[in-house]
Amino acid sequence: MGSAGAAAELEALAQEIRAHKGAGCGFEVCETCTQLVPGVGPASAAIVIVGEAPGAKEDAGGVPFVGAAGKFLDVLLAEAGIARDDVFITNVVKARPPKNRDPKRDEVAHHWPWLERQLAIISPQLVVPLGRHALARFAPDARIADAHGAVLEVGGRRLFPLYHPAAALYNGALRSTLLDDARALGRALTSIRSTRTRGL
Ligand code: URA
């Protein structure tokens, strides 16, 4: 698909996700959120970053990762040498759970097809699950403590798990691990790109 076609398809999907608010599906997250938050970024993104679910700021603004965790995500992307405008950022669950509780299994199953469709349109080189909850959705057997900061191939998909930036806001050691991992993410992307350029 041409890039204009992919961009139009991604935008049509975003509109479908937003229009789900008020559809009367009966799931608490979809009914109680202010709005669904599809995600942001170009269809040509080499990297898709996947958090767990929107928080209060994201619910109010309709854009993922704009609160404190999002500010640290910006620092991590800068450390990786990656522009925020070049990545697609979304969540497993597109609606804020009440009081920021963990999404329930059936809510994840309800929203997961949207993420699969976003990934099919974008076809990124790396998917970056943030934190153990997002990682568990892609790789149920992996542990974030073992898998963070390196490429992990699962089911034909290339993951690069990171700790969730929110976890580092209260944990200085995790902060420096995340900064190290962000630099490793930048190197992994460079290496994938040079392999593709050489046609390997
Ligand atoms: N945490 C997440 O997992 N996602 C967001 O969009 C914001 C905070």
Answer yes or no: is the C-beta of 90 below 6 A from any ligand 1 atom: no
Ligand 1 centroid distance, CA of 21 (Å):
19
Give the pLDDT of residue 181: 98
Residue 166 neighbours by CB under 8 Å, 6+ apart: 68, 69, 72, 131
Give the pLDDT of residue 197: 74
**Euclidean distance between CA atoms 108 and 103, whole angstroms:** 7
pTM for this prediction:
0.96
Residue with tokens 């608010």, as numbered in its chain: 21
142-158 pLDDT tens trace:
999 999 999 999 999 99
| Structure confidence at residue 1 as a pLDDT band (50, 70, 90) | low
Give the pLDDT of residue 88: 98
Residue ranges per domain, the chain? 3-198
pLDDT at 33 over 80: yes
User: Superfamily for 3-198?
Assistant: Uracil-DNA glycosylase-like domain (3.40.470.10)
68-77 pLDDT tens trace:
999 999 999 9
Answer yes or no: is the C-beta of 165 below 6 A from any ligand 1 atom: no
Q: Mean pLDDT for the chain?
A: 96
pLDDT at 120 over 70: yes
Q: How crowded is residue 171: how many other Cβ atoms within 10 Å of its Cβ?
A: 12
Answer yes or no: is the C-beta of 58 below 6 A from any ligand 1 atom: yes
